[in-house]
Every structure is written in C-alpha cells, then in structure tokens.
Amino acid sequence: MNATISASELARALTTGNPPVLLDVRWQLSMAKAAGEPPFDGWAAYAAGHLPGAVFVDLDRELASAPGAHGRHPLPDLAEFGAAMRRAGVSSRTPVVVYDGGLGWGAARAWWLLRWTGHPDVRVLDGGLPAWEGPLETSEPAPAEGDFTPVPSATGLLDADGAAALARSGVLLDARAGERYRGEVEPIDRVGGHIPGAVSAPTTENVGPDGRFLPAGELRARFEDLGASGDAPVGVYCGSGVSGAHEVLALAVAGIPAALYVGSWSEWSSDPERPVAVGPDPQ
C-alpha cells in the first residue's frame, strides 16, 4: 500500500464507488506566542476553504494528549482518538486520505496514528492542499458515523529507553533542523542537543521546493547514506513527534520501516538525568 497519493490520483479516487474519507489536519508549529502574535488557527484555515467533504481534525486536541511529562504532543487517549475518527466518518473498510496546508507534518501525524492503530488504508496527499487543483468548499460536512476502533500495534512505537537503546543497536534519526540537533539554538525545549548516538536527518531535506516528497529512489539513497538501509532497526524522533512522523512517512515512501519516538526531544530533554550530546557528531 502506497503511503502517499497525488492530487490527480485523489481526484480519480473520489469518483469511485468507495471514495476515501478526507481529513484536513492543517497545523503548524508556531513561535507566534513569543512574538506576541496569535497562533496559527487550523480551524479558521479549514473554514476558509477545504477539499469537498473533508472533516477538520485538530492535531493538538484529537491527535495528542495535553502537554506534560511525556512531551508536547504525547499519544492521545486511544478511546478519545477512536471516537474522534468515527465522528469524522473513518471506518475500517474505507480508505482515508489526510492532508494539511503543504508542510506535511500534521497530515503525517494523522497517517502514523491511524496506521499504528490498525487502519489498513491511509495515505497522505503529497504536497497538501496547494497541490489540489479541484474545487474547494466552505461548508462543514456531516459524515455518517464510522466504525474504526484503534488497536495499537506491538511495533512502530518507541519510548525514551527504547530510543536510547536503538541509538546504540540500530539507527536513530533526528528529524529536527541541524542547528537544534547540534545544540546551537533551542527555541522551545529546556536544552539543545540530541540523544547520544542519534544521526542528524532534517525532515525538510526529504521534500522538494513544492513540498512534495523526493522520488522514492532518491529518498532511499539519502537514508542509506545516513546508515538507515533497513538492515538494522530504524527509529525517528523530532521535537514532539510531529515532524518525526513526517520522516517515518518519508522512510515508508523509500521502503524502509521505522518506529517513532512520540515523546521525542520535548520528553527526553525535560529530564535533567538523561544525557545530552551536542555538536555535529552522533556521540
């Protein structure tokens, strides 16, 4: 099953007898609060125009629990997540396509959660809303209740200890910007740097200028150069498990399975007892 879908493929899929459920997950990490500006409003963006029939999903409230000891975007309560997905019309036998404003991070978080909890057919609109050339609508749909019940997989998820172990025994990729990995700046979390043994792999380098993923062969070559060929277990973390999901998605496009450390740096760095590495080298 492909992890992404092009806008033209989606347009055709919407005309079939089993069209996908569309989820709009527009979200972006914002530094606006520190600058005294209002934060990004995904709902307002959705209300101004969305794919016909798409249902808005709030990443902060429906794809994550409240910030706390396990990071800024810890796993959601699975019963509440399942209820949110059913309200959006998600059923186990119906394909799902998720999209966002083009960055891909919010959509990837929804993709990862649905896949990890057992949905068999979820894809991300490559390039997000900017790639869509069809009509938009502003009305809010009222989909029929879905039947999806999340059943988490025994694999694909890392905790802090698992991430630390994987950095030693496999390949742990850090999807944040290089300057945060090196510890030169840290605009959000307690301290800068990276998990010892992790390899810098900014997720922004997985896409082209239009926000669409690089071809699968190019992605695979990139990850192999970083040591992630799939021969050893691969894991990913970021700041709070959002852009890291986008890197897991890029790895899936490349044909390399990977687990996600959802707590990511926001959880790891909150504990002063955990080691922190700085500089360009993993150790």
Catalytic residues: 238
The residue assigned the tokens 């799939």 is 230
- CA geometry: angle 203, 68, 32, nearest 5 deg: 55
Of the chain, the end-to-end C-alpha distance in Å amounts to 36
Amino acid, single-letter form, for residue 73:
H
Three-state secondary structure string covering 44-107: HHHHHCECCCCEECCHHHHCCCCCECCECCCCCCHHHHHHHHHHCCCCCCCCEEEECCCCCHHH
Nearest to 2 by CA among 153, 128, 121: 121
- Helices and strands of the chain, counted as H and E runs: 10, 10
194 contacts: CB under 8 Å, gap ≥ 6: 174, 181, 182, 183, 200, 265, 276, 277, 278, 282
